[in-house]
Amino acid sequence: MSEMSYTALARVRAAAGDVEGALDAARALKEEKLTPKVRTYACALHASAKKGDLEKMEAVEAMLRDEGLLPTELEFMAMLRAYRAAEAFDGGFAMLRRMRTEIRSPSDEMSEELRAWFSAVPGWSVADEVRVDDAGAAVAVLAMEEKRVELQLKAISLTEEERADLLAGIAKLACEREAQSEFDNFMNWLNVKKDGMNAIVDGANVGMYNQNFSTSGMNFNQVEKVLVELRKRAKEGDAPPIAFLHQRRVEGGPARKPHNQALLAKWDGAGELFTTAHGSNDDWYWLYAAVHAGDKAFLVTNDECRDHVFQMLPSPKLFYRWKERHQVRFTITAGEVELDYPAVFTTCMQEADDSSWWMFPQEDESWLCACKVE
């Protein structure tokens, strides 16, 4: 039997209300050394939720997570509906806190469930009107409560634990594909680098912007212009910006021109150049350095990081959450550089520090807001 066969069996049993039988099918699948999927457990979770068996529902969610799988929005909706029906409000809020790291923007269907949830929770109300400005300052109007709430959306980055997990994933893949001693030396160098890093530049991406790839038309002046802009933005005490370039970029082709040799020497002398060795993939180096640098660091690149290298990361959602807060895109027009920094707040589910409000971005770019009214 295949994974699909066991999953089909689990679904039949769950549809008949036999949650334990559905889980037995999942266990049999594992005994056959097959890899379970979310759908393997989802039917048991939905059946538990429908029966109002919150303890079993939570146990199935835990099993799913133990397999390294994450609930989808459908599972979160089923659980929220079950918590609402049982008036288990503490459990529902705990679930929302798990959900907010995994569902960035709820669908319209999920938003309706959220409206129903907050309308049912004692002491809470859904705002009739929400306005958010470019700085993340928001005003929520609750007409029925004759209440106006002012709030501030935050920049949500990775936790230290999440950042450590992402770094470990990058390092594991890099060491499997690079000369391990080279990458180990690089990681050790980062750990002892006293001034850290504030701005990391994907040098090849900047230098090849609007250039002729077929002739390897690397434009070092463009890298310098980006570095100039970053130098202007640096605060006192910041580490200098640093461009990552592969060794073949700094040795051959346009790099041999005297003007470019002077630029490379200038960057090297100022601590603004890191050269990756022959046979290496510089993507691993600038990515690891940017994540290692912490919450205040930025990575300058237009690379959307969607190719096979980045798809191999064990937690793609974690990576894209990091990228949302730390990637700086750029344009160069008539020699002028424009840097596009991330917004000052994150467009994702957010809860107030004092738990007095929740904000949910909508598919139409509006916001759903629920506030405590007591």
- Listing DSSP states for 65-79 in one string gives HHTT----HHHHHHH
Whether the pLDDT of residue 355 is over 90: the answer is yes
Domain range enclosing 49: 1-103
Asked if pLDDT for residue 310 goes beyond 90, the answer is: no
Q: Which residues contact 102 (CB under 8 A, 6 or more apart)?
A: 70, 71, 317
Say yes or no: 257 and 276 in one domain. yes
Same structural domain, 141 and 258:
no
Residue 226 sits in the same domain as residue 331: yes
Whether the Cβ atoms of residue 309 and residue 335 lie closer than 8 Å to each other: no
Choose among 302, 318, 1: nearest CA to 156: 318
Average confidence (pLDDT) over 18-45:
96
Letter for the amino acid at 198? N
- Sorted by sequence, the CB contacts under 8 Å of residue 190 that are 6+ apart come out as 197, 288, 289, 292
Q: Which candidate, 78, 49, 80, 76, places its Cα nearest to that of 65?
A: 76
Asked whether the whole model's pTM tops 0.85, one would answer no
Q: Is residue 114 part of a domain?
A: no
Q: What is the CATH number of the domain that holds 299?
A: 3.40.50.11980
Q: Which of 36, 71, 103 finishes a domain? A: 103
Torsion of Cα atoms, 222 then 224 then 230 then 231, to 10°: -160
108 in any annotated domain: no
Examine residue 239 and state whether it is found in any structural domain, yes or no.
yes
Q: Are residue 89 and residue 166 in the same domain, yes or no?
A: no
Query: Tens digits of per-residue pLDDT, 155-186?
Result: 998 889 999 999 998 888 888 877 777 888 89
Among the ranges given (104-113, 279-288, 362-371), the one the predictor scored with the smallest mean pLDDT: 279-288
166 and 268, same structural domain?
yes
Q: Is residue 368 part of a domain?
A: yes
CA torsion 325-290-309-74 (nearest 10°) is: -30
CA 205, 206, 211, 214 torsion: positive or negative? negative
Asked whether residue 336 falls in the same domain as residue 353, the answer is no
DSSP string for 92-105: HHHHHHHHTTT-SS
Q: Are residues 192 and 228 in the same domain?
A: yes
Share of the chain above pLDDT 70, in %: 97
Number of domains in the chain: 3
Going by DSSP bridges, is the β-strand pair 357-361/350-351 parallel, antiparallel, or unpaired? antiparallel
User: Does the residue 202 lie in any domain?
Assistant: yes
